[in-house]
């Protein structure tokens, strides 16, 4: 069994004014790092998205009545990044980049943060096909969930996945997310309103942390586990 880090390092950037709980932050486990999305990620983001058009297109969110094309341009990146960074400053989102061994590999977004009596959010993600099938996405999701529960102070995290996206379902099932049924015509994806399967965890479900659960699952299954191809949610 290969060696790996069994703890996530959480680092707040002292140069940034923290205006939201748990943000900005850098989360690490082994070769996988989550860090804040930056404007200078533009070239890596565009190159990855253009190279992965067919891999990602069918899972891409699209505005009803708006353009249905796949976003992989500098204006799209700039608009997205400005919006996500503004949401992060307001405590509404945690827009992470995934790095593997220092290379850009995709995104994990904790978004839709609701405070008060709900204390919840949802997670969306995508990964470059070059890094799929290596356990990167379960690790990235586990890091984001643990940070959301322990540092951001959330109670519930939800992931919504199209029924056709079997590989993405495998990610949340491996992490032990609870299935909560079907949400009909829930999100506008790839040009139409699509049904989604809803999965969720609450903080009490993972008292020892989701990353710890994931590492324990890897130890139990690694000798016989066949690689799978993680896809976006």
The verdict on residue 4 lying in a domain is no
**Cα–Cα distance for residue pair 197/209, rounded to 1 Å:** 24
The verdict on residue 121 lying in a domain is yes
The verdict on residue 230 lying in a domain is no
The verdict on residue 199 lying in a domain is yes
Q: How many structural domains is the chain composed of?
A: 1
**Cα–Cα distance for residue pair 172/176, rounded to 1 Å:** 6
The verdict on residue 233 lying in a domain is no
| Helix axes 42-51 and 74-89, enclosed angle (nearest 10) | 120
Q: Which domain holds residue 139?
A: 9-221
CATH number assigned to the domain comprising residue 177: 3.40.630.30
Per-residue pLDDT of the chain (233 residues; tens, 9 = 90+): 333 333 444 444 433 344 589 999 999 999 999 999 999 999 999 999 999 988 888 888 888 876 655 677 899 999 999 999 999 999 999 999 999 999 999 999 999 999 999 999 999 999 999 999 999 999 999 999 999 999 999 999 999 999 999 889 999 999 999 999 999 999 998 889 999 999 999 999 999 999 999 999 999 876 543 445 566 77
Dihedral angle of Cα 136, 137, 140, 141, to the nearest 10 degrees: -150
Does residue 24 have a cis peptide bond before it, meaning omega lies within 30 degrees of 0? yes
Backbone angles phi, psi at 44, to 5 degrees: -65, -40
The verdict on residue 61 lying in a domain is yes
- The predicted structure's pLDDT at residue 231: 63
The verdict on residue 228 lying in a domain is no
């Amino acid at each position: 069994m290969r060696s790996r880090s069994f703890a996530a390092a959480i680092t707040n950037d002292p140069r940034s004014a923290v205006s939201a709980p748990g943000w900005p932050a850098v989360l690490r486990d082994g070769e996988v790092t989550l860090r804040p999305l930056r404007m200078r990620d533009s070239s890596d983001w565009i190159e990855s998205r253009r190279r992965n058009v067919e891999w990602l297109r069918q899972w891409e969110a699209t505005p009803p009545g708006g353009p249905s094309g796949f976003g992989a341009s500098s204006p799209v990146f700039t608009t997205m990044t400005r919006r996500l960074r503004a949401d992060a400053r307001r405590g509404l989102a945690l827009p992470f980049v995934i790095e593997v061994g220092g290379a850009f590999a995709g995104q994990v977004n904790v978004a839709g943060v609701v405070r008060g009596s709900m204390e919840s959010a949802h997670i969306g993600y995508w990964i470059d096909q070059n890094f799929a099938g290596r356990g990167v996405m379960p690790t990235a999701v586990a890091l984001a969930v643990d940070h959301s529960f322990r540092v951001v102070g959330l109670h519930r995290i939800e992931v919504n996945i199209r029924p056709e996206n079997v590989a993405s379902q495998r990610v949340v099932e491996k992490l032990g997310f609870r299935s909560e049924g079907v949400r009909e015509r829930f999100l506008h994806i790839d040009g139409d309103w699509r049904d989604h399967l809803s999965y969720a965890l609450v903080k009490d479900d993972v008292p020892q942390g989701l990353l710890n659960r994931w590492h324990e699952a890897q130890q139990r299954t690694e000798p016989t586990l066949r690689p799978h191809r993680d896809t976006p949610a």
